[in-house]
Structure 1
Amino acid sequence: MSQIHPTALVESGARIGADVAIGPYCCVGSNVELADGVVLKSHVVVEGRTKVGPGTRIFPFASIGHEPQDLKYGGEPSELVIGAENTIREHVTMNPGTDGGGMLTRVGDGCLFMMGSHVAHDCHVGDSVILANNATLAGHVHVGDFAILGGLSAVHQFVRIGRHAMVGGMSGVENDVIPYGSVMGNRAKLSGLNIVGLKRRSFSRDMIHDIRKAYRLIFAQEGTMAERLADLVEDFAENEPVMEIVDFIRDESSRGVCVPSTDGHAD
C-alpha cells in the first residue's frame, strides 16, 4: 500500500506504484509515473512526462520535470526518465528534453545528486554518478558511469564527461573529459588521472599502471594526436580501459578535449 499524505496533491492520471511514500505538500502531475518504492520526502514537485525508477528518494524542495530552461522549447511532449535507487537531495532541479536534443533527459541508476545540483534538458547521466552541492550540467551534456563532479562545478553544453572521471570543485568545464581523467580549474585542465577513484573501484595495480602509461603517451609532445592514438592501439589493443580512452577521443564531438596545462598543473 502506498502512503500519500493528506496535504499532498496527486493529479488524476498519475501512475503510483506499490509502497510509494508521498510526503506533506508534495505535488505530482498527471503524466508522472512513480515506480515501486519511490519516496518523496516533503514539498517535492514532480511534473511533466516524468518517470521515476524504483527505490529513488527525492528530498524537500526538489523540482523535477518542469519545462526546460531553453527559449527554443515549444511545449513538445518531451520526457525525463530517472532510473532506480537514486538519491536526489534538497533543491535539485532536473528538466526534460527538447526537440533539438532527442526529446529525452535520462538519469541512470544509483546516482547521488547533492543539494542544489542541476541536470538540464537533453542530458544523459550514467549509473553511480555523483554531483556534489550546486554542481550544474548545461544542456546536452553526457556523463559516464561512476563520474564525480565536485561542488560548484559547471559543465558547458554538449560536453562529454567520460566514465570514472573526476571534476574538481569550482571548475568550469568547457571541453570533453577523457574517461578516468581528473580535471580542475577555470577553464578546467587535466590534472592527471582519477587514481583514487580507480583504486576505490578495485582496478588492479597493473591496470592502473597501463592507464598511466597510456595517459603520458596521449599527451606527449612528439607527433600528432592521431599518430599517438594509433600507437596506443598497437601497444594496448587488449586493454579495455585504454581503448575506451582512445575511442572517446576519436568519437565525434562538438567540443575539444581537456588537456594538461603547459606547466603540468591545472590553472
Structure 2
Amino acid sequence: MSLIHASAVIEDGAILGENVSVGPFAYIGPNVKIGDNTTVATHAVIEGHTTIGKNNRIFPHAAVGTIPQDLKFAGEHVELIIGDNNTIREFTLLNPGTKGGGSVTRIGNGNLLMGYVHLGHDVILGDNCILANGATLAGHVELGNHVVIGGLTPVHQFVHIGDYAMIGGASALSQDIPPFCLAEGNRANLRGLNLTGLRRAMGREDINALKSAYRELFEEGKPLQEVAQRLFESTSSEKVKQLCEFIMTSKRGIPFTRSKTNEDK
C-alpha cells in the first residue's frame, strides 16, 4: 500500500511499488517507476524516463529526471536510473543522459547526495559515495565506489574518479583522480593517499603496498606512465594493479606536482 498525499500529482502511467510515500505537492511524471519503500517528500519533482529502486529517500524540492542541460538535446529517449538505498537531499538536480553519451545517467546504491548537489547528463555514480553540499558534476563524469567529494566542488566534464578517492571541499577538479588518492586545492592536486578512507576499508598489507606504489608513481620524479606500467606488471597487489591501470587508461591526465630530480635542481 502506498501513502499518497491528496495534493500530490501522480500522472497516469507512473508505476509505484509497495509502501511508497509521496508528500504534499510532489509531482511524479507518467514515465517514472519507483521501487518499494521509497519516500518522495513535499514539492519534489520526478520527471522523464526515470527508474528509482527500493528504499530511497528523496527530500523536499529535489528535481529528479528533468531534461539534460545540453543544447543538443532534442527530446530523444533518455533515462535516469537510480539504485537502492540512496539519500537525495534538498534541491538536488539530477539529469538523465544524452544521445551522445549513451543516453543514460546511472546512480548506484547507498549514496548520499547532500543539498544542492548536481549530477549532469551521462554521469555514472558508483556505490556508497558521499557528495557534500553544492558538489557539481558536469556531463560524462564517472565516479567509482566509496568516493567522497567535499562541498562546493565542481568537477569538469569527462573526469574519472577512482574507488575510495577523496576530493577536498571548494576544489576545482579538471583531471582524473586515481583510486585511493586524496586531492584538494583551488585547482585540485594530489596530496597523497586517502588514508582515512582506506583504513576503514582494507587491511594494513594493502595500505602499505599502496603507500609504496604512490611514492614510486608521484614522488620520485620518474615518468608516470612508465612507472605505472612497470608496477602493474611486477606487483602482486590487486589494489596497486587497480591504481596503475587507472593511470595508464586516464584520458585527461593526473593532477600532481612532479618532484624535482637532481637534474632539475
| TM-score between both structures, scaled by the size of structure 2 | 0.95
Match status 1:182 vs 2:179: no
Q: CA, structure 1 residues 28+152, in 2 after alignment: closer, same or farther (shift >3 Å)?
A: same
Q: CA, structure 1 residues 71+262, in 2 after alignment: closer, same or farther (shift >3 Å)?
A: farther
For residue 262 of structure 1, report the CA deviation from its aligned partner.
5.5
- 2:190 aligns to what SS in structure 1? strand
Which of 245, 263, 266 matches 2:243?
245
Contact 2:219 2:259 survives alignment (8 Å): no
Counterpart Cα distance in 2 of 1:81 and 1:194: 29
Q: CA, structure 1 residues 196+224, in 2 after alignment: closer, same or farther (shift >3 Å)?
A: same
Q: C-alpha offsets along residues 174-212 of structure 1, whole Å, 9 cap, x if unaligned? A: 0000000100012100000100001122x1112111101
Which contiguous aligned blocks of 4+ residues in structure 1 show a shift greater than 6 angstroms? none
Structure 2 counterpart of 1:36: 36
Structure 1 counterpart of 2:263: none
Q: After the TM superposition, which residues 28-177 of structure 1 pair with which residues of structure 2 at under 5 Å, given as runs?
A: 28-177=28-177
* Total equivalences in the alignment: 260
Counterpart Cα distance in 2 of 1:181 and 1:150: 14
Counterpart Cα distance in 2 of 1:94 and 1:122: 10
Contact 1:94 1:120 survives alignment (8 Å): yes
Counterpart Cα distance in 2 of 1:29 and 1:125: 23
CA RMSD after TM alignment: 1.3
Q: Give identity over the alignment, percent.
A: 45
Q: CA, structure 1 residues 191+223, in 2 after alignment: closer, same or farther (shift >3 Å)?
A: closer
Contact 2:221 2:259 survives alignment (8 Å): no
Counterpart Cα distance in 1 of 2:238 and 2:60: 41
Q: CA, structure 1 residues 91+187, in 2 after alignment: closer, same or farther (shift >3 Å)?
A: same
For residue 8 of structure 1, report the CA deviation from its aligned partner.
0.1
Counterpart Cα distance in 2 of 1:113 and 1:51: 17
Contact 1:178 1:258 survives alignment (8 Å): no
Contact 1:189 1:261 survives alignment (8 Å): no
Q: CA, structure 1 residues 209+252, in 2 after alignment: closer, same or farther (shift >3 Å)?
A: closer
Counterpart Cα distance in 2 of 1:222 and 1:95: 41
Q: Which amino acid in structure 2 is aligned with residue 231 of structure 1? A: R
For residue 230 of structure 1, report the CA deviation from its aligned partner.
2.8
- 1:172 aligns to what SS in structure 2? coil
Structure 2: runs of 5 or more not aligned: 261-265
Q: After the TM superposition, which residues 204-243 of structure 1 pair with which residues of structure 2 at under 5 Å, given as runs?
A: 204-236=203-235, 238-243=236-241
Q: CA, structure 1 residues 142+29, in 2 after alignment: closer, same or farther (shift >3 Å)?
A: same
Counterpart Cα distance in 2 of 1:175 and 1:222: 19
- 1:233 aligns to what SS in structure 2? helix
Q: Which amino acid in structure 2 is aligned with residue 208 of structure 1? A: I
- 2:50 aligns to what SS in structure 1? strand
| TM-score between both structures, scaled by the size of structure 1 | 0.94
Structure 2 counterpart of 1:258: 255
Counterpart Cα distance in 2 of 1:222 and 1:47: 50
